[in-house]
């Protein structure tokens, strides 16, 4: 065995690939009972892909019950199916995506079909890569490694799979968590689509550094990553789809899960929506506010944001911030010290809205003590709702976050129907029930939808408002906001906005 200086590790017999396991599925220790079985694992590395379905069929021409046929759950971008155990045999493999309401095999849109051989104690590792409009399908034969064969259980196995076609090439360095890049050791320079030979390291906490090939400029640094078991790990290098400028993200694939490691110290984005209606209990508020982070000063991060408007996207260091709102015209305080947590490489939207509540001073449940049919007293609060933006890039389906901001006890719950050209409300397949200020998400295939917001008031279903939503390959994930609108014939309207903005303002 040969030691790598500075990291106290050694290399054993090289292997081209590794086994990837999921604890809830078949284990990866081989066939201990003598059965002849192998495994298959699907990894989705196509950033603009929808969920991918894997189908295995023992015989395309035979539908007998004793012939194996199965379609597995879809795998989204940067995820893996885990190992599915199969009898050793030849199978037909299909990869497909759901372009209709049904996820039955016959209704899926195929992108790939071939034959594969499942061999004993071997994993067929299938990767969907590159632009999904012309995907590349990569297949690797992976021998199962039994960790029980290790003489020293204080070590772990590590390989790197490069799924980012970085033009300058990639060098991968590794250091202990209490060291810096100066002490890091170059452990691999994997080409695009290459999975490196197996290396063994002492169980400990480590930091990864990625540079262009031959360069000492660190383009990516991970947080510390713990390796606490004598297991097999694959660190997958992929393109960073997040908001930070660092080009890479690392996925730690172990025998039980996949964990994404964003660039350490990565920036974060946020923007703000003004949903604060004017109110008699805010007499000086003229539907415009300034936003301050970590205390009010003369330079607000967001100035004069009007009712119904989104701010520009702001880039900040990740961390926890306190938020203050002031009235734009006179600096009067609206709220103080609301918490905003910005996570590394993520984007959030903060919605501010009013909540009106009846006052019950004596706690008897009666808010009309004089019996005149009018609530004796009301109070308002200004609330903040922080949501995570989905900045994914799937081209054939899109996530829609629906938020209902109508503060009315009679319509605290609203039904949203997404009705296509050949449907009516009663027959719509796509619908969600949304409570006040409690976001719901629905994933919709590309199409044109009439969106209905319907509430039940006094046993009658009322259409509060409607709008059109058209989704194409160029569309982003969307917000749909239901609001009061005095200029609308019904008193309500829906706002549709992209979850991800193209540009951001540096801090």
- Is the distance from CB of 28 to CB of 75 less than 8 angstroms? no
pLDDT in tens, 200-238: 999 999 999 999 999 999 999 999 999 998 887 889 999
pLDDT in tens, 342-389: 999 999 999 999 998 765 566 666 656 566 656 657 788 999 999 999
Minimal CA–CA distance to 261: which of 225, 229, 231, 233? Answer: 225
Q: Report residue 274's pLDDT band, with 50, 70 and 90 as the boundaries.
A: very high
- For the segment 133-139, the average pLDDT, to the nearest whole number, is 95
Q: Mean pLDDT score of the chain, rounded to an integer? A: 88
User: Could you give the 3-state DSSP secondary structure of residue 181?
Assistant: helix
- For the segment 248-275, the average pLDDT, to the nearest whole number, is 90
Which pLDDT does position 125 carry in this prediction? 85
**What residues does 202 pair with on adjacent strands?**
155
Which pLDDT does position 1 carry in this prediction? 32
- Is the distance from CB of 293 to CB of 60 less than 8 angstroms? no
Which pLDDT does position 233 carry in this prediction? 86
Q: Report residue 267's pLDDT band, with 50, 70 and 90 as the boundaries.
A: very high
Instruction: Just give the CATH number of 266-388.
Output: 2.60.40
- For the segment 470-480, the average pLDDT, to the nearest whole number, is 97
Kindly provide the b/e burial profile for residues 52-70, where b requires at least 16 CB atoms within 10 angstroms of the residue's own CB: bbbbbbbeeeeeeeeeebe
Which pLDDT does position 7 carry in this prediction? 53
| 183, two tokens | 């002490």
**Alpha-carbon span 444 to 426, nearest angstrom:** 18
pLDDT in tens, 404-450: 999 988 899 999 999 999 999 999 999 999 999 999 999 999 999 99
List phi, psi (to 5°) of 149. Answer: -80, -15
**What residues does 134 pair with on adjacent strands?**
none
Instruction: Just give the CATH number of 37-143.
Output: 2.60.40.1430
**What residues does 352 pair with on adjacent strands?**
274, 384
Sheet hosting strand 109-118, strand order edge to edge: 69-71, 53-57, 89-97, 109-118
User: What pTM, to 2 d.p., does this model score?
Assistant: 0.86
List Cα–Cα distances, 440 to 31, 61, 296, in angstroms: 44, 43, 33
User: Strand 478-484 and strand 397-404: pairing?
Assistant: parallel
Which pLDDT does position 50 carry in this prediction? 96
The CATH fold assigned to 150-261 is: Immunoglobulin-like (2.60.40)
Please check the confidence at residue 150 and state whether its pLDDT lies above 90. Answer: no
Residue 496: burial class (beta carbons within 10 Å; 0-12, 13-18, 19+): middle
Domain extents for the chain?
Answer: 37-143, 150-261, 266-388, 390-507
The CATH fold assigned to 390-507 is: Immunoglobulin-like (2.60.40)
Please check the confidence at residue 173 and state whether its pLDDT lies above 70. Answer: yes
List Cα–Cα distances, 133 to 30, 79, 83, 85, in angstroms: 37, 19, 27, 30
Q: What angle do CA 250, 251, 257 make, to 5 degrees?
A: 160
Q: Report residue 18's pLDDT band, with 50, 70 and 90 as the boundaries.
A: very low
- For the segment 157-163, the average pLDDT, to the nearest whole number, is 92
Helices (H), 206-292: none
- For the segment 296-302, the average pLDDT, to the nearest whole number, is 95
Positive or negative: CA dihedral 425, 427, 428, 432: positive
């Amino acid at each position: 065995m040969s030691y790598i200086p500075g990291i106290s590790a050694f290399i054993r017999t090289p292997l081209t690939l590794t086994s990837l396991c999921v604890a809830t599925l078949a284990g990866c220790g081989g066939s201990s009972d003598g059965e002849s079985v192998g495994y298959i694992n699907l990894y989705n590395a196509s950033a603009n892909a929808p969920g991918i379905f894997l189908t295995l069929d023992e015989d395309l021409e035979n539908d007998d019950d004793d012939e194996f046929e199965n379609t597995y759950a879809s795998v989204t971008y940067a995820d893996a199916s885990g190992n599915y155990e199969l009898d050793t045999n030849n199978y037909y493999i299909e990869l497909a995506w759901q372009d209709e309401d049904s996820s039955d095999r016959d209704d899926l849109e195929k992108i790939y079909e071939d034959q594969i051989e499942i061999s004993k104690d071997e994993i067929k590792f299938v990767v969907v890569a590159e632009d999904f409009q012309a995907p590349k399908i990569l297949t690797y034969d992976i021998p199962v490694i039994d960790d029980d064969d290790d003489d020293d259980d204080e070590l772990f196995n590590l390989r790197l799979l490069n799924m980012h076609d970085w033009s300058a090439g990639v060098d991968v360095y590794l250091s202990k968590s209490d060291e810096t890049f100066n002490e890091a050791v170059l452990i691999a320079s994997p080409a695009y689509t290459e999975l490196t030979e197996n290396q063994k390291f002492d169980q400990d906490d480590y930091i990864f550094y990625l540079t262009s090939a031959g360069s000492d400029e660190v383009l990516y640094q991970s947080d510390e990553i713990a390796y606490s078991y004598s297991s097999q790990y694959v660190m997958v290098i992929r393109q960073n789809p997040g908001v930070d400028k660092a080009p890479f993200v690392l996925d730690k694939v172990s025998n039980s899960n996949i964990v994404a490691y964003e660039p350490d110290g990565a920036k974060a984005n946020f923007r703000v929506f003004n949903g604060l209606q004017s109110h008699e209990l805010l007499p000086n508020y003229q539907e415009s506010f300034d936003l301050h982070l970590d205390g009010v000063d003369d330079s607000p991060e967001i100035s004069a944001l009007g009712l119904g408007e989104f701010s520009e996207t702001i880039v900040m260091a990740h961390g926890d911030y306190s938020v203050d709102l002031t009235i734009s015209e006179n600096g009067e305080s609206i709220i103080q010290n609301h918490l905003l947590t910005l996570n590394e490489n993520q984007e959030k939207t903060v919605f501010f809205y009013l909540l009106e509540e009846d006052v019950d001073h004596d706690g008897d449940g009666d808010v009309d003590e004089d019996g005149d049919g009018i609530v004796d007293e009301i109070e308002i609060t200004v609330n903040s709702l922080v949501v995570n933006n989905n900045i994914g890039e799937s081209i054939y389906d899109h996530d829609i976050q629906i938020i209902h901001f109508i503060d009315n006890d009679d319509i605290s719950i609203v039904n949203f129907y997404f009705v296509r050209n050949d449907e009516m409300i009663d027959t719509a397949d796509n619908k969600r029930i949304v409570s006040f200020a409690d976001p719901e998400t629905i994933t919709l295939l590309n199409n044109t939808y009439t969106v209905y917001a319907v509430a039940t008031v006094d046993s009658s279903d009322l259409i509060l408002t409607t709008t059109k939503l058209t989704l194409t390959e160029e569309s982003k994930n969307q917000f749909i906001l239901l609001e009061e609108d005095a200029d609308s014939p019904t008193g309500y309207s829906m706002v549709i906005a992209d979850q991800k903005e193209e540009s951001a303002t540096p801090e």
